[in-house]
A and B are shown apart, each in its own frame.
Chain A
């Protein structure tokens, strides 16, 4: 059974850097075709994709956020880490870690991040 869980701060100040960790189990991020990524959803709004990192270390970033995002994976710890710089109140929302294999087929429960001074 594939599971993913997000962890990180619930509150960050404007201009700060957000670091979120995704700890997963039930699969290997080195398996061909597999990816792990991050998506988010502002309150009451639509889903937005941020980034995927794949089994071969290929990374795909949202073009509109690429300059602010960095994703890394630690296969020994079964973790993927997202950093997002220069946080703004519009970045407030629920951040999901997810597994990609023919679609985003497994999602974490999500973690709420509020950007406020």
Chain B
């Protein structure tokens, strides 16, 4: 049911940079802001990035977001063990879809 497509998994060793893609369409990412959420195992999601590339207070600057056309990316630099989680992108779509989420990406720290 997810409208936005993400890779199912990504991994890296501590200190590395990991990037997660999010592919949408002109009716969602192409014309609206992108949001990113982090969900640690067994917990509620947490807002990581809003309005494409803005970090809420308290989110480390190791996390950064970008958008180009109908795709977006989340980058995690200086990967740490506590970054091991599921990551979801989201965006408003048209009246037929509403607020849509990505398929989710599981990040593993090797």
Contact = CB atoms under 8 A, between A and B. Distances in A.
Contacts of A52: 99
B47 A104 contact: yes
Nearest to A61: B98
A108 interface: yes
A96 B43 CA distance: 11
A89 B47 CA distance: 29
- Residue among A49, A103, A105, A109 with the most chain B CB within 10 A? A103
Contacts of A108: 44
Q: Which size bracket describes the interface of B in this complex?
A: 20 to 34
Interface in A40-89: 46-49, 52, 60-64
B65 to A, nearest CB: 11
Contacts of B44: 96, 107-110
Interface string A89-116: 0000000100000111111111000000
B68 interface: no
B62 interface: no
Interface in B22-54: 35, 37, 39, 44-47, 50-51, 54
A47 B35 contact: no
B99 A49 contact: yes
Contact of A46 (B51, B56, B95, B102): B102
A48 B35 contact: no
